[in-house]
Amino acid sequence: MTVTGAPPVTAWSRLDRRSIWVEAVRPAAGLLLAGAVAVTFRGWDRVGWVEPAIGAVVVVGILALSGWAWATTTYRVTDTHVELRSGLLVRQERSVPRDRLRSVDLTVDVVHRLAGLAVVAIGTGRQGGESDDDVKLQAVSTAEAERLRSVLLARGPARTDEPGAGSVEEAPTAPMAAFSASWVRLAPLSLLGLVAVGVVAAALAQFADAIDYGQLWRSGPVRSAVEWVRGVGVPLVVLAVLLGLVLLNTVLSTVLYVVLYGGFRLVRGDDRTLRLTYGLLTQRSVTIEEARIRGVRVDEPLLLRLGGGARARIVAAGVGAAGADGKERRDSDLLLPAVPAGLAHRVTADVLGVPDSPAAVPLRRHPRAALRVLLVRWVPASALPALGLAVPAGLGVFAHWPWQLALLLVPVAVAGALLEFANLGHALSGPFLVARGGAAVRSTAVVRRDGIIAWRVRRSVFQRRPRLLSVTAAVAAGKGDRTIAWAGQDEVLALAVDAVPGLLAPFVEPDPH
Amino acid sequence: MSTAPSAAPRLRLRAPAHQVDPRAVTWWRLQDALFWVAVLVAVGVVLVFWRPGWLVALEVAVAVVALVDVAVSPRVRYARHRWEVTDVAVYVRTGTVIEDWRVAPLSRVQTVDTQRGPLQQWLGLSTVTVTTASTAGALKIKGLDRDAAAELVERLTAATEATPGDAT
């Protein structure tokens, strides 16, 4: 395979020299922060010369490790492979065939931006087993990152232009989607803010040891808060707390939405790639080869759906899968953040190359028997906490109100089952298989029928008599597997036979029973 | 397109053509027996030192369940586990309480592996695993005769190599 454009690099290159101190900044800053918090809680008088000395030694150590990591990491792009050598003590050599590369993901956080660096993650789409062949370069200069992107995804005969290094700065076509102020009104409908509060609270809890609870309890603000609660009564306080949480979530979610997705642009490149750019502080730029896209998934969390919004993700090999460190690269399969549903459908249709989004076609509902199965799954489990609390209450060792409160879970479970049943659906739409499911988050997956690489059909004994089957279409893509859950047996088998010609047909027969 | 409602004919997945080797029944029986013996011995050791009525009853109950399980379930499992390889696809059925049918086209097969545990080696059995690029698409044929398994692997590997691309 010949690569037009930038000539292939065959010499080993190193990461950018600046990454030595850039990579050390974060752990060092964390250390400083921890120190500052400790000092705030314990006072300056208990800090001698030992703590700063330890701190200094650790900072020097971090720098030394960072330098060593830089010195031992080299990479190169040959005609056929991308190779990465790394490892402080255990040497690792990773070699990935270039025709396996699916996506290039550039991340530039604030520190990296100040230094003019970018982290490059190259998605390979292998999964399971010994597959940690995701390649991550942390970090190279932005110019080198751009060069890598254009070299790595430039292949095939369709490329006619003459790109020099880093010339694909700005695609000439109009963006398929661009951040708009109207998107922001959907932000408060997510729970992003509360999740953030939870994360911060968990982080603060780590310093809980340093807090003197007795002193905190006796302090002025806490005492007056307790007095206030006694004064106004519990229901009003619960209401006030709920209102406060809603307000907090509204503000935080909006801020986070703008910070995370501000400046969002989705562009189709002339080299048959999709490029997403977004983020105000940490800038993310993901390039995905279009030929690798197997479908899309449109997610509508209940609140967002009621507000007329939807999110979308890409189903493609090399995105959304776990990276080399076992952790998923966050949002590496993002197609659209929370946006108006109409736009989501327009963009997904555009990405899939069809006039109307298959995610919006009318779907075939599942038989009522599926609702019974769902109720059996949801309701008994929801009654368990109440049951568990009622036993000690009956024996008189425990108050009665907890189990009565826990009983509230039962109607919630019934609602959940009804909601999930209402969401179930599937269809064939042109070259796509559409499967919808989920309770709190309605998730509509659209996968290319020719991308289905296996069928898996499951049925528990309880599904045998009501003639229900759960059919999974396996797709070679991150979390691409799509299950049509609790569908009518005859109808879903006929659909699966149609979806992939010749695959399931020889194994399906008329049922005499 | 057969998405027309109501008139849909009643359909089912047919059983794959082949059963695994009858020695698989012995294999599963030994596996189950070893598990139950371990449980019975563990409880038995406690019984040596401490013998409340309910624990004796439990040991007896476990022994009864173990006997029934060893006698019945390997046969049921053998009857349920069937496989078939056509010119275009691999088809495997497993499971009793949760039935599971899997079909993968030969063109999408990525690897074909064979495993033999100690019991299987002694009985001359093999388990063949066929993987695709998705975790939902891994097929296992457990308890094949060793030579038949080798032959199957050869055939599958040949079919896989005949297909260009990386099977995604």
- B61 and B93 in a single domain? The answer is no
Which residues of A are less than 8 Å from B106 in CB distance? none
Any idea what the Cα angle at residue A451 is, between residues A447 and A453, rounded to 5°?
120
Alpha helix (H) ranges present in A267-340?
Answer: 302-306
Q: Are residues A376 and A333 in the same domain?
A: no
**Position with higher pLDDT, B133 vs A66:** A66
| Same structural domain, B104 and B57 | no
With respect to residue A376, please indicate whether it lies within any of the assigned structural domains. yes
C-alpha A177/C-alpha B148 separation (Å) is 56
Q: Which two tokens stand for residue A134?
A: 């995701």
Running DSSP on this structure, what letter comes out for residue A322?
B
Is there a single domain that holds both residue A179 and residue A258?
yes
Q: Is residue B13 part of a domain?
A: no
In a domain, B51, yes or no: yes
pLDDT average, residue stretch A392-418: 86
Q: Is residue A443 part of a domain?
A: no
DSSP A316: E
Q: For the packed helices A50-72 and A19-42, what is the interaxial angle rounded to 10 degrees?
A: 160
Closest CA to A136 of A329, A378, A411: A329
Q: What confidence category does residue B142 fall into, taking pLDDT thresholds of 50, 70 and 90?
A: very high
Local confidence band at B43 (pLDDT 50, 70, 90 cut-offs): very high
Considering only the beta carbons, identify the residue of B5, B12, B101 that sits closest to A511.
B12
Identify the three-state secondary structure at position A103: strand
Query: Six-digit token pair at A384?
Result: 């368990």
Nearest to A365 by CA among A321, A318, A296, A424: A424
**Higher-confidence position of B40 and A53:** B40
Which span out of A135-139, A277-281, A314-318, A327-331 was modeled with the highest average pLDDT? A277-281
- On chain B, the residues whose CB falls within 8 A of the CB of A428 are 1, 3
**Residue A462: inside a domain, yes or no?**
no
Q: In what order do the strands lie in the sheet with B111-115?
A: B111-115, B125-131, B139-145
Do B132 and A454 lie within an 8 Å CB cutoff?
Answer: yes
Mention every residue, 6+ apart, whose C-beta is less than 8 A from residue A231: none
Kind and range of the H or E run holding B161 = helix B146-161
- Specify if A333 maps to a domain: yes
Mean residue pLDDT of chain A comes to 82
Confidence (pLDDT) at A47:
65
Phi, psi of A60 (to 5 degrees): -60, -40
Of A22-36, A281-295, A315-329, A362-376, the range with the highest mean pLDDT is A362-376
Q: Which two tokens stand for residue B89?
A: 């696809």
Cβ atoms of A169 and A285 closer than 8 Å:
no
The DSSP string of A427-451 is EEETTEEEEEE-SSEEEEEEEEGGG
Say yes or no for a CB contact (<8 Å) between B103 and A99: no
Q: Is B102 on the interface with A (CB under 8 A)?
A: yes
Q: What is the CATH number of the domain that holds B105?
A: 2.30.29
Q: DSSP class of residue B7?
A: -
Contacts of B1 in chain A (CB under 8 A): 428, 498
Is B15 within 8 Å of chain A by CB? no
In a domain? residue B5: no
Statement to judge: residues B58 and B102 lie in one domain: no
Note whether B75 and B88 are same-domain residues: no
Q: Is residue A104 classed as helix, strand or coil in its secondary structure?
A: strand
Mean pLDDT confidence for A338-356: 93
Same domain, B58 and B88: no
How confident is the model at residue A217, as a pLDDT?
67
pLDDT, residue B41, reads 94
Does A277 lie in the same domain as A214? yes
- Give the pLDDT score at A1: 42
pTM value surpassing 0.90: no
| B52, B99: one domain | no
- Out of B63, B79, B95, pick the residue that ends a domain: B79
Domain identity same for B75 and B121? no
* A83: helix, strand or coil: strand
User: Are both A393 and A285 inside the same structural domain?
Assistant: no
Confidence band for A399, pLDDT divided at 50, 70 and 90: confident
Q: What pLDDT is recorded for position A411?
A: 92
Work out how many CB contacts closer than 8 A connect A with B. Answer: 139
Distance between CA atoms of A95 and A83, rounded to whole angstroms? 4
Residue A225: band (very low, low, confident or very high) from pLDDT cuts 50, 70, 90: confident
Asked whether the predicted pLDDT for residue A458 surpasses 90, the reply is yes
Which two tokens mark A354? 């069809």
Is the pLDDT at A170 greater than 70, yes or no? no
> Does B87 map to a domain?
yes
Query: Are B87 and B151 part of one and the same domain?
Result: yes
A389 CB burial (10 A radius; 0-12, 13-18, 19+)? buried
In angstroms and rounded to an integer, the radius of gyration of the C-alpha atoms of chain B is: 21
If one compares A332 and A353, the residue with the highest pLDDT of the two is A353
* pLDDT above 90 for B62: yes
Q: Are residues B71 and B28 in the same domain?
A: yes
Q: Do residues A344 and A265 share a domain?
A: yes
What does the pLDDT average to over A38-66?
Answer: 78
Tokens of A35: 């120190």
Range of the domain at B48: 20-79
pLDDT at A160 over 70: no
CA distance A454 to chain B (A): 4
- Same domain assignment for residues B51 and B113: no
Q: Indicate if A397 and A346 belong to the same structural domain.
A: no
Instruction: Tell me: pLDDT of A330 over 70.
Output: no
Taking CA–CA distances from A128, the nearest residue in chain B reads B135
Structural domain contains residue A237: yes
Q: At A333, is the pLDDT very low, low, confident or very high (cuts 50, 70, 90)?
A: confident
Strand A103-108 relative to strand A117-123, pairing: antiparallel
Query: For the residues B86-102, what does the mean pLDDT come to?
Result: 92
Q: Which of A448, A456, A511 is the best substitution to test chain B (most B C-beta atoms within 10 A)?
A: A456
Tell me the torsion sign for CA atoms A251, A256, A258, A259.
positive
Mean pLDDT of A192-214: 74
Within a domain: residue A437?
no
Q: How confident is the model at residue A168 (pLDDT cuts 50, 70, 90)?
A: very low
Name residues whose C-beta falls within 8 Å of residue A118's C-beta, 6 or more positions apart in sequence: A106, A107, A108, A112, A139, A140, A141, A142, A145
For chain A, what is the domain count? 3
Residues in CB range of A481: below 8 A, 6 or more apart: A472, A473, A474, A475, B134, B135, B136
Angle at the Cα of A478 from the Cα atoms of A472 and A483, rounded to 5 degrees = 15
Answer yes or no: do B125 and B147 share one domain: yes
Q: What is the pLDDT of residues A494-507, one digit of tens each?
A: 999 999 988 999 99
- Look at residue B148 and tell me if it is in a domain: yes
Give pLDDT, residue A302.
92
Residues of A in contact with B86 (CB under 8 A): 506
Q: Is residue B131 domain-resident?
A: yes
- Residue A303, domain member (yes or no): yes
Average pLDDT value for residue range A314-322 = 68
**Which one-letter DSSP state was computed for residue B107?**
G
Examine the domain organization and report whether A89 and A143 are in the same domain. yes
| pLDDT at res. A164 | 41
- CA separation for the pair A105, A346 (Å, rounded): 24
Comparing A297 with A33, the larger pLDDT belongs to A297
Judge whether residue B3 has pLDDT over 50: no
**In this structure, is residue B12 part of a structural domain?**
no
CB of B105 within 8 Å of a chain A CB? The answer is yes
Which positions in chain B touch A489 (Cβ < 8 Å)?
A: 11-12
Q: Are A315 and A480 in contact (CB under 8 A)?
A: yes
pLDDT bin (cut points 50, 70, 90) of residue A444 is: very high
Of A22-36, A212-226, B34-48, least confident by mean pLDDT is A212-226
**What band does A480 get if pLDDT is binned at 50, 70 and 90?**
low
* B71 and B118 belong to one structural domain: no
Out of B2, B13, B166, whose CB is closest to A100?
B166
Percent of chain A's residues with pLDDT above 90:
26
Assess whether pLDDT exceeds 70 at residue A68: yes
Helix (H) or strand (E) holding B93: strand B89-94
Determine the straight-line distance between the first and last CA of chain B, rounded to whole angstroms: 26
Reading the block at residue A217, the tokens are: 């309890």
Range of the domain at A48: 13-153
In a shared domain, residues A270 and A288: yes
Q: Does B86 touch chain A if contact means CB atoms closer than 8 Å?
A: yes
Among positive and negative, which fits the CA dihedral A385, A391, A392, A396? positive
In total, how many domains does chain B have?
2
pLDDT tens-digit map of A70-80: 888 899 888 88
Which residues 35-64 of chain B have a CB within 8 Å of chain A? none
What single-letter DSSP state applies at residue A364? B
Residue tagged 């509060």 (tokens): A197
Final residue in a domain of this structure, among B28, B55, B79: B79
A105/A97 Cα distance (integer angstroms): 17
A495 domain residue, yes or no: no
What confidence category does residue A166 fall into, taking pLDDT thresholds of 50, 70 and 90?
A: very low
A124, A327, A476, B64, B81 from A323: Cα distances, Å: 9, 6, 16, 48, 36
Q: How confident is the model at residue B165 (pLDDT cuts 50, 70, 90)?
A: low
Q: So what's the ipTM on this one?
A: 0.88
Residue B10, in any domain of the structure: no
Residue A367 has pLDDT above 70, yes or no: yes
Domain termination residue (choose one: B51, B79, B107): B79
Secondary structure tally for chain A: helices H, strands E: 16, 21
- pLDDT at residue A220 tops 90: no
Poorest-pLDDT segment among A208-212, A369-373, A375-379, B99-103: A208-212
Strands A273-278 and A283-289: antiparallel
Distances (CA, A) of A159 to A3, A270, A392, A455, A495: 10, 8, 73, 36, 38
Question: Is residue A200 located within the same domain as residue A324?
Answer: yes
